[in-house]
Amino acid sequence: MKEAQLIKEIPLASSDNGAITVATLTEPYGKGSSPVVSLGIWLSKTSEEPDWKVHIPAENLDQVIEALQEAKKEL
């Protein structure tokens, strides 16, 4: 059974009503599927679904965090 746990909601920069959401999902693709971190980008929190979302498998999370830290250094 898919279960979501909101970790954090961050106001989206350069947006009046947008947000970035970070959540964990257990069994996102059905019974026995591996957990993921779900990142959602909402241009407006009045919509029911995010404008963009990505699911990162738990096994790849450390690699993605490392890549984001590297990207931050480049900005």
Separation between Cα atoms, residue 62 and residue 19, nearest integer Å: 23
For the chain, what is the domain count? 1
Query: Residue 37: helix, strand or coil by DSSP?
Result: strand
Nearest to 8 by CA among 34, 36, 44, 40: 40
**pLDDT over 90 at 54, yes or no:** yes
Question: Please, which pLDDT band fits residue 57 given cuts at 50, 70 and 90?
Answer: very high
The pTM of this model reads 0.88
**pLDDT over 90 at 19, yes or no:** yes
Separation between Cα atoms, residue 19 and residue 58, nearest integer Å: 23
Instruction: Give me the pLDDT at residue 39, please.
Output: 97
**pLDDT over 80 at 1, yes or no:** no
Structural domain boundaries enclosing 33: 3-74
| Sign of the Cα pseudo-torsion (72, 40, 61, 57, in order) | negative
**pLDDT over 80 at 25, yes or no:** yes
Instruction: Give me the pLDDT at residue 43, please.
Output: 94
Number of Cβ atoms within 10 Å of the Cβ of 15: 14
